[in-house]
Amino acid sequence: MTALDLSSPVAVVGTGTMGQGIAQVALVAGHPVRLYDTLPGRAGEAADAIGARLDRLVEKERLSDADRDAARARLLPAEDLPELADCALVVEAVLERLDVKQDLFRALEGIVADDCLLATNTSSLSVTAIGGALRNPGRFVGLHFFNPAPLLPLVEVVSGFATDVSSATRAYETARAWGKTPVACADTPGFIVNRIARPFYAEAFAVHEAQVADPATIDAVLRESGGFRMGAFELTDLIGQDVNESVTQSVWQSFFQDVRFTPSLAQRRLVESGRLGRKTGHGWYDHGEGAERPEPDTADKRQPPAYVVAEGDMGPASELLELIREAGIPVRDESDDDQGACLLLPSGGRLVLADGQTAVEYRDFVYFDLALDYRTAGRIALSASQDTSPQVLAEAIGLFQALGKRVSVIGDVPGMIVARTVARIIDLAHDAVAKGVATEEDIDTAMRLGVNYPLGPFEWSRRLGRSWAYVLLDDLHRRDPSGRYAPSLALYRHAHASDSREGTS
Percent of the chain whose pLDDT exceeds 70: 97
Angle between the 65-74 and 17-29 helix axes, to the nearest 10 degrees?
A: 120
Round to whole Å and give the CA distance between 193 and 123: 10
Query: Which residue among 121, 126, 167, 194 is the active-site one?
Result: 194
Query: Residue 140: what residue type?
Result: F
pTM: 0.95
Q: In which band, very low, low, confident or very high, does the pLDDT at 499 lie, cut at 50, 70 and 90? A: low
Query: Which residue among 123, 159, 225, 244 is the active-site one?
Result: 123
Average pLDDT over every residue of 250-258 = 96
Q: What is the pLDDT of residue 71?
A: 95
Start-end of H helices in 15-164: 17-29, 42-59, 65-74, 98-109, 127-131
- Over residues 438-484, the pLDDT tens digits come to 999 999 999 999 999 999 999 999 999 999 999 999 999 999 999 99
194 is known as an active-site residue = yes
467 is known as an active-site residue = no
Q: What is the pLDDT of residue 333?
A: 84
Beta-carbon contacts of residue 368 (< 8 Å; ≥ 6 apart)? 317, 351, 352, 353, 354, 380, 381, 382, 383, 396, 400, 416
Q: In which band, very low, low, confident or very high, does the pLDDT at 282 lie, cut at 50, 70 and 90? A: very high
Reading across the β-sheet that carries 33-36, which strands appear in turn? Answer: 75-78, 33-36, 10-13, 89-92, 117-120, 140-145, 154-159, 181-186
| Among the listed residues 4, 251, 14, 29, the one whose alpha carbon sits nearest the alpha carbon of residue 125 | 251
Query: Residue 413: what residue type?
Result: V
- Over residues 345-383, the pLDDT tens digits come to 999 999 999 999 999 999 999 999 999 999 999 999 999
Task: Report whether 44 contacts 15 (CB < 8 A).
Answer: no
Round to whole Å and give the CA distance between 280 and 482: 35
Residue 72 burial class via C-beta count within 10 angstroms: exposed 0-12, middle 13-18, buried 19 and up: middle
| Among the listed residues 112, 162, 115, 120, the one whose alpha carbon sits nearest the alpha carbon of residue 138 | 162
- Over residues 140-166, the pLDDT tens digits come to 999 999 999 999 999 999 999 999 999
Q: In which band, very low, low, confident or very high, does the pLDDT at 334 lie, cut at 50, 70 and 90? A: confident
Q: What is the pLDDT of residue 96?
A: 92
Please give the distance of CA 418 from its chain centroid, rounded to a whole number: 14
Percent of the chain whose pLDDT exceeds 90: 96
Residue bearing the bigger pLDDT, 406 or 340: 406
- Average pLDDT over the chain reads 95
Task: Report whether 167 contacts 131 (CB < 8 A).
Answer: no
Round to whole Å and give the CA distance between 102 and 133: 6
Round to whole Å and give the CA distance between 43 and 35: 6
- Over residues 226-240, the pLDDT tens digits come to 999 999 999 999 999
Whether pLDDT at 323 is above 70: yes
Q: Are strands 342-344 and 350-353 parallel, antiparallel or unpaired?
A: antiparallel
Query: Which residue among 31, 126, 144, 430 is the active-site one?
Result: 144
Average pLDDT over every residue of 189-208 = 98
At residue 192, φ and ψ (nearest 5 deg) are -95, -60
Q: What is the pLDDT of residue 328?
A: 97
Whether pLDDT at 324 is above 80: yes
123 is known as an active-site residue = yes
Beta-carbon contacts of residue 72 (< 8 Å; ≥ 6 apart)? 51, 54
Whether pLDDT at 25 is above 90: yes
244 is known as an active-site residue = no
Q: What is the pLDDT of residue 339?
A: 52
Q: Region of 112 please: left (phi>0), alpha (psi -120 to 50) or beta.
A: beta
Round to whole Å and give the CA distance between 441 and 406: 35
Round to whole Å and give the CA distance between 153 and 170: 18
Beta-carbon contacts of residue 362 (< 8 Å; ≥ 6 apart)? 350
Query: Which residue among 156, 224, 311, 440 is the active-site one?
Result: 156
Q: In which band, very low, low, confident or very high, does the pLDDT at 502 lie, cut at 50, 70 and 90? A: very low
Q: Are strands 365-368 and 350-353 parallel, antiparallel or unpaired?
A: parallel
Q: Region of 179 please: left (phi>0), alpha (psi -120 to 50) or beta.
A: left
Sign of CA dihedral 412, 418, 424, 430: negative
In three-state secondary structure terms, 383 is strand
Q: What is the pLDDT of residue 450?
A: 95
Task: Report whether 350 contacts 327 (CB < 8 A).
Answer: no
Query: Residue 187: what residue type?
Result: D
Round to whole Å and give the CA distance between 183 and 157: 6
Average pLDDT over every residue of 56-69 = 95
